[in-house]
Structure 1
Amino acid sequence: MRQLGACLINLIGDDKVQLREALREAIGKVNDLHRETCALTQEAVPASTVVIVRERGDALDYLVLSDNVLVLDLGTEGIRTVTDKRVDEVAGEEMQAALQGPAGTAEHTARVSALVTVQRRLRNQPGGYWVAATDPAAADEAIAGTVAREQVHQAALLTDGASRLVDSFGILTWAQLLGVLRTEGPAALIARTREAELADPACERWPRFKQSDDATAAYITADQPVAMPPGSLGSKKS
């Protein structure tokens, strides 16, 4: 993931390069680094979700691939969220079984393993879901768009482990999550998330595959330029 991020930083610094194009090229470059030492066609190769924002003149470009969340506060237009939930739409039967608790039991572990096996077969396949792994074509499946820079009052880039206080647990609204990031910072948001997870160790109040997930958050306000790396964020997928 670090190598992919480094490639993306270099590529998206050129405003003429579209974000999907940059992601496609970055995946190809990482492939080239490992082509002679790794079996790039295996189902279980490392993969990453991706969320990017880039300031380009008076515009803010964005790209989301897989289950990260981009939260945009557009002032009077309200809050817009951008995410790609196709991974939740495949393997429905296995998904429902894997959400049945209690977590930590051998039965639950076996159900989660069965889900992962099916998901890997559907990863980066038509009718499945897409992540940044070894297929550059995944970049073409990313959700990308542009909003006027002046519309964006604040924004958050979140892995699914950092968004769950809203979209999984229902403890916060998106506006409240932005408020936590603004006044307390990303570390406080993640600490609150861990506190909630620890209060439900068996994953029965809030059904999920494991107690905790990778949690990363980045926060941007209207009065600060988008820093380098320009909002590039990912979560490693096994």
Structure 2
Amino acid sequence: MKMECISVTGSGKMNEDAYVTNQAKQLFAVVDGVSSLVSYEDEAGLTGGAIAALLVKEHLEAEDGDQSLPDLLVAANGRIHDRMQEVQIDLTKKEELWGAACAAVRLREGHVEYAQTGDCMIFAVYGDDTVRPLTHPQVSHLEQAAFARWQWCMEQGIRTHAEIAEHCRDILISNRYQANEPGGYGVLNGEEACSDYIEYGRINRTDVRAVVLLTDGLFYPRSFGGEVPRWEDTVLPIVHKGLQRYTDELLALENGDPECLHYARFKKSDDKTGLVLYLS
């Protein structure tokens, strides 16, 4: 098996993504840290999102037994809960919680096990270039309201990212309260209910050419007024060109739209982390 990985800091203060390559257990993952909406940094200057991603990474890298992937994510969620409690985060206020989305796979001789929460994605790519999404971006239905507000702001003549983002802040706060709730989305944020929103399963490896794991910063963006890109528009260029070239081209596109007026996203560049496992 060959492996390719990348993790690039976006336009934020630090990279809140992480990735896991536990080759001894053939366990691989990408993790997307989610900072609280209330500013927090530890004594080392790490944000809550960066801490949450690091806790998940450390837990998965240390896995030396044979726990199921969902059980591993639930245990990592418990570590996030405990760390927030240690530093006296108000666990009753969702806007103060740190969190992490995660997509993890474990390779077996004849099959691939997977587990996911949040909007990280896992894809199987077959020998004929068929792209099979194994997961669903759980926050996409909630983001539509924010992007609709974003587009409305542009139609009113507001042309700077900072102003538009402020007009959308109430929706983003409201979305946080949908975490691990019916009709909402799953995230590892210390809440016990997260276990109900972890998606998991297994596929056989027959004709699987590659397994691709991505945080949402690597998704090819939709243009305002345009059609939603197919997953093939993201995954096949990664498999054919390589992660580095795809990432460079995506960054060039984002740098050409610094105020986020042409392509739908909430910041110029999100952190970007990906793993490609070439099985054959």
Q: TM-score band, normalised by the shorter chain?
A: 0.7 to 0.9
Residue deviations 1:50-94, cap 9 Å, x none?
Answer: 001111232210112111121211335921013333322237544
For the residue of structure 2 that corresponds to 1:164, the secondary structure is: coil
Residue 7 of structure 1 and its aligned partner are, at CA, apart by 0.8
Letter in 1 for 2:134: V
Matched residue count: 219
In structure 1, distance between residues paired with 2:179 and 2:212: 26
For the residue of structure 2 that corresponds to 1:217, the secondary structure is: strand
Shift in CA distance, 107/164, structure 1 to aligned 2, threshold 3 Å: same
For the residue of structure 1 that corresponds to 2:196, the secondary structure is: helix
In structure 2, distance between residues paired with 1:83 and 1:46: 23
* Residue 6 in structure 1 maps to residue 58 in structure 2: yes
* Residue 85 in structure 1 maps to residue 137 in structure 2: yes
In structure 2, distance between residues paired with 1:207 and 1:171: 10
Residue 220 of structure 1 and its aligned partner are, at CA, apart by 0.8
Residue deviations 1:15-56, cap 9 Å, x none?
Answer: 3x2211111112113323443323251312211110011112
- 1:30 is aligned to 80
Letter in 2 for 1:189: Y
Residue 208 of structure 1 and its aligned partner are, at CA, apart by 2.6
Tell whether the 8 Å contact from 1:70 to 1:83 is kept in structure 2 after alignment. Answer: yes
Segments of 5+ residues of structure 2 without an aligned counterpart are: 1-52
* Residue 201 in structure 1 maps to residue 252 in structure 2: no
**How does the TM-score come out when normalised to structure 2?**
0.68
- 1:134 is aligned to 190
* Residue 71 in structure 1 maps to residue 128 in structure 2: no
In structure 2, distance between residues paired with 1:85 and 1:178: 15
Residue 136 of structure 1 and its aligned partner are, at CA, apart by 3.5
- 1:191 is aligned to 248
Letter in 2 for 1:162: L
In structure 1, distance between residues paired with 2:125 and 2:55: 30
CA RMSD of aligned residues (A): 2.8
Higher strand share: 2
Letter in 1 for 2:220: R
In structure 1, distance between residues paired with 2:233 and 2:147: 29
1:114 to 155, 161, 170: 170
In structure 2, distance between residues paired with 1:219 and 1:28: 28
Residue deviations 1:91-117, cap 9 Å, x none?
Answer: 754442034435525540222312221
Higher helix share: 1
In structure 2, distance between residues paired with 1:107 and 1:123: 26
Residue 158 of structure 1 and its aligned partner are, at CA, apart by 0.9
Residue 8 of structure 1 and its aligned partner are, at CA, apart by 2.2
